[in-house]
Structure 1
Amino acid sequence: MIRIYLKQAWSLLKENPLISGLSIAGTALAIAAVMLIILVIQVRMAEYAPESNRGRMLHVIAMRAVEKKNDGSTNNGYMGKSVVRELFYNLKTPQVVSGYARRTVSVNAAGKRTFSKYSATYTDERFWNIFDYEFLEGAPFTREESESGVCKAIISEKLARRLFGKTEGITGQRLLVNKKEYSICGIVEDVSRTARFAYADLWMPYNSNAAMETPANVCGGLTGYFNVAMLAGSTSDFSAIRAEVEKETRQFNANSPEYEISFFSGPLSNFDLIITNYMGFIKEIPYAEWFLTQGGFILFLLLLPALNMIGITITSFRKRRAEIGLRKAFGATAGSVFSQVVNENLVITFIGGVFGLVFSIIMLWLTRDIFFPSGSEINLSMLIRPEMFLASLFFIFLLNLMCAGIPAWRAGKYNIVKSLNNQE
């Protein structure tokens, strides 16, 4: 049966190359536009090193400190190191909890005078149990080294090449970070900028930098530069983790004499951060609004070409009115005619969908700086995933129903005598 429909569809392509070409082009453009949206979301949600555990991660990237004696005096921003250590390190439900601060620093190799700016992450030893970096050489700093504030640094292979012209034999070499000397203890593979929380050029213990301490006269030292990343055993632990954070926050506030803190929506999943555009300064996450907006936009992108293709398809089947009338004269039911029309159109739609899918991948690669931080690298492991193909097949099927449904229904209702005489 499938072979018969394929032959019929192929004959239609040869008989009406212009109409078929327009149908395929319209389908390709519609699917490309839809899949571009899907691919952008997918790259932000897909799990790949060093964020292979994205689905099990929770993040706290926003905090509010309120002065107890004056409710109008508030400070919104990141948290101080004391909050990380005294509140989040006490959590028992997550598998791992890590505090980190992102800064821009000047770096050069020891003995050289040229300084360049790079992205740095000041963190702890726990960080390396959440994110799975690929070490080319050396190893992460240990808990003892992190706590003592030893001046050790892990650098990316890109930074190693720029500083030393190679990526091997670098361990133990010296570099200056903001004019302070650090010893290199490891080199990791370059990280794509699409890995928002894992990306950096170098990583150091936060205790190695006194500037990571917030002065006591700034909101009691509670605000600062830090975010928190947590790794749960599974997504089913998210509710328990959020409940424990609330409990620990109440206890922390009870012991704080001048300020009380809160974390807006609390720990956020990667999907939450996509919906809020990576902003944590909201108290409610607009799930319904996001789905309605995205769904409405996708439907709009599918509807416009579908309306054009409905007209093209109806015109095409007017030419086949006599053929359809002959089939009905030999006993074909309206349902079988409907099925034939939909199946034949599905082949054409599928061809257009494949072109659209390939075109969307090319377009995302060419326009990646629009959707992601400048300089982001997009590779096939982020794009070619089972869920992407399932999504594309779904939208191809949906577009096919929208384009072929009405013509197929009308074709099934053709009067046999009028159809054989090629009349309306």
Structure 2
Amino acid sequence: MIKSYWKQTWALLWQNKLFGGLYLIGTALPVTMTMIVVMYFHLLTAPVYPELNRDRLYEVRAVMTYNADGVLIGGGYCSEAMVHQWFYPLRSAGKVTAIYTYNRNLNDWLQLADGKSELKVHTKYTDPNFFRVFDFDFVAGAPFSWSDLESARPCGVLSASMARRLFGTEQAVGKRFTMNYMDYTVTGVVRDASSLTPTSFAQIWLPYTHVPGYGNYQEIGSGGFTTVFRVQDEKQARQLQADVRDLVRRYNVLHADEKRLDVDCPMPVWKRNLVPGNMEVDLPAMIRFWGGLLLAFLIVPAVNLGGMISGRMDTRLPELGISRAFGAGRGYLLRRVVRENLLMTLAGGLLGLVLSWMLLGWGHDWIIGLFDTYGLMQVENEEMLVTPAMLFSPVLFLAAFLFCLLLNLASALIPAWRALRVPIVQALYEKK
């Protein structure tokens, strides 16, 4: 049955090549634009290496401090004391890691082997749990240890591409590199991550005890750390949020005469990826804006295609009149016309999907740059990594199919219905 419909649709396209070409292009372009938007948000929110458990990752970032009169006296990230006294011991926290983020743009420079050249690198200062919270694939070695962190041993983990650039091989465990004029030892090498995973991405990962002044804030309150939790399920996530709120409440009761803390409730990492810094995530506003944009991508081509199909149906009135004269019902003919247009829409949608893959695969730097207004996903010395595994997803196929289905119904249903309401005699007369 489907084969016969496809043959009939193909024959109709060949009868009017201009109509067929315009129809395919008119479908492919809006699908391309729509899928680029959908893929961008898919990359920010879906499970992507090394954040394969994004739906189970939560973070605490913003901490505000007020005096007894309610006046804001400080704000920032979590202090080291808060991480050690509050978050590490939490039973509901699952796996916990602290990432130094007070100064995201630390000027870390590698001194290369020629003794003259330097290379700016993207570093992340954290603890050994970082590699348990995030699912990095080690191609050599292992993470640095807690004793390395506590003793501030000069060591770190390299990305595979950085290891190849420095040593010509990924098997670099035990080798030494110089950064900021200090020698470090490689403890492990991991498969490259993409800068589209900003919470975990780096080229070099080091113990946070190498950050000057990392422990300046020894009291519970604001400091320089983002804390990331990996929970087992939604139930544990709710318990984690309740425990953090309870810790804040008890602290404020004990220090009511001195100060008061306002701490972000643990938020899913995928939500935090949608906005920069400590800005509030306004999901309804984002849905209205991007939903309106996608709706425009649907309505504008639907109107154009509807006009083309309406003109095409005028030329097919005799054919429909003959079918109805021989007993074909309006419902049958309506379904046939919609199916024919659906096949053409799916062909255009497939073309649009391929175009969106090509654009994001080869031009992802400038396309992502259109969305990333703050440059949080740009790395100076490394091309943005977008792998096929990040772009091929059943969710994306489903989104493309649903868009094509809506586009087909919006553009074909009304013209077909209007054509089928023409009386049989008038439809046959159109042939003269």
TM-score normalized by the length of structure 1 = 0.91
CA distance, structure 2, for counterparts of residue 81 and residue 176 of structure 1: 27
- Give the aligned partner of residue 32 of structure 1: 32
CA contact (8 A) 2:100 2:124 kept: yes
Q: How does 1:283-302 map to 2 (within 5 A)?
A: 285-302=281-298
Compared with structure 1, are the counterparts of its residues 274 and 227 closer, same or farther at alpha carbon in structure 2 (3 Å cutoff)? Answer: closer
* Residue in structure 1 matched with residue 159 of structure 2 by the alignment: 156
Distance 2:37 2:431 in 1: 44
Describe the shift of the 1:236–1:221 C-alpha distance in structure 2 as closer, same or farther (beyond 3 A). closer
% identical aligned pairs: 30
Corresponding residue of 2:51: 51
| Residue 402 (structure 1) aligned with residue 398 (structure 2) | no
**CA deviation string 1:204-233 (max 9, x = no partner):** 2223445211256xxx57333211111010
Deviation, structure 1 residue 119? 1.7
What is the aligned partner in structure 2 of residue 191 from structure 1? 193
Partner Cα separation in structure 1 for residue 6 and residue 113 of structure 2: 68
User: CA 1:295–1:408 in 2, change beyond 3 Å: closer, same or farther?
Assistant: same
Matches within 5 A, 1:238-277: 238-255=237-254, 258-264=258-264, 266-275=265-274, 277=275
8 A contact 1:28–1:356 mirrored in 2: yes
Deviation at 1:23, TM superposition (A): 0.9
CA distance in 2, matches of 1:37, 1:116: 33
Query: What's 1:2 paired with?
Result: 2
Q: Structure 2: state its 5+ residue gaps.
A: none
- In structure 2, relative to structure 1, the CA distance for the partners of 1:255 and 1:106 (3 Å cut) is farther
5+ residue gaps, structure 1: none
Instruction: Classify 1:221/1:117 alpha carbon distance in 2 versus 1 (closer, same or farther; 3 Å).
Output: farther
Three-state SS of the structure 1 residue aligned to 2:76 is: strand
1:218-237 equivalence runs, <5 A:
222-237=221-236
**Match status 1:415 vs 2:423:** yes
Q: Which residue of 1 aligns with 2:70?
A: 71
CA distance in 1, matches of 2:320, 2:57: 57
Cα displacement (A) at 1:152 = 2.0
Preserved CA contact (<8 Å) 1:31 1:356: yes
Quote how far apart the aligned CAs of 1:287 are: 2.4
The one-letter code matched in structure 1 to 2:144 is F
- C-alpha displacement at 1:109, in angstroms? 5.8
List per-residue Cα deviations over 1:154-189 (Å, max 9, x = no partner).
Answer: 122232233333332x32233333333332211222
Q: Check the 8 A contact 1:134/1:188 in 2, yes or no.
A: yes
Residue 331 of structure 1: which of 309, 320, 327 is its match?
327
For 1:357, the equivalent position in structure 2 comes to 353
RMSD: 2.3
CA distance in 1, matches of 2:81, 2:232: 26
Q: Structure 1, residues 11-69: CA drift from partner, whole Å, max 9, x if none? A: 11011111111111100011111111111111112323211111210122222122x23
Match of 1:174 among 176, 198, 211: 176
Residues 1:261 and 1:106: Cα distance change in structure 2 (over 3 Å): farther
- SS of the residue corresponding to residue 228 of structure 1 reads strand
Residue type at the aligned position of 1:231 = R
**2:41 matches 1:41:** yes
Q: Which residue of structure 1 aligns with residue 110 of structure 2?
A: 107
1:280 equivalent to 2:278? Answer: yes
Distance 1:138 1:76, change over 3 A: same
Q: 306, 310, 313: which is aligned to 1:310?
A: 306
- In the alignment, the residues of structure 2 paired with residue 115 and residue 80 of structure 1 have an alpha-carbon distance, to the nearest angstrom, of 32
The one-character-per-residue Cα deviations of 1:280-333 (angstroms, maximum 9, x if unpaired) are 332xx4222222222211111111111111111011111110110111111111
Call closer, same or farther: CA 1:51–1:313 in 2, change over 3 Å. same
Indicate how the Cα distance of structure 1 residues 271 and 202 shifts in structure 2: closer, same or farther if over 3 A, else same. closer
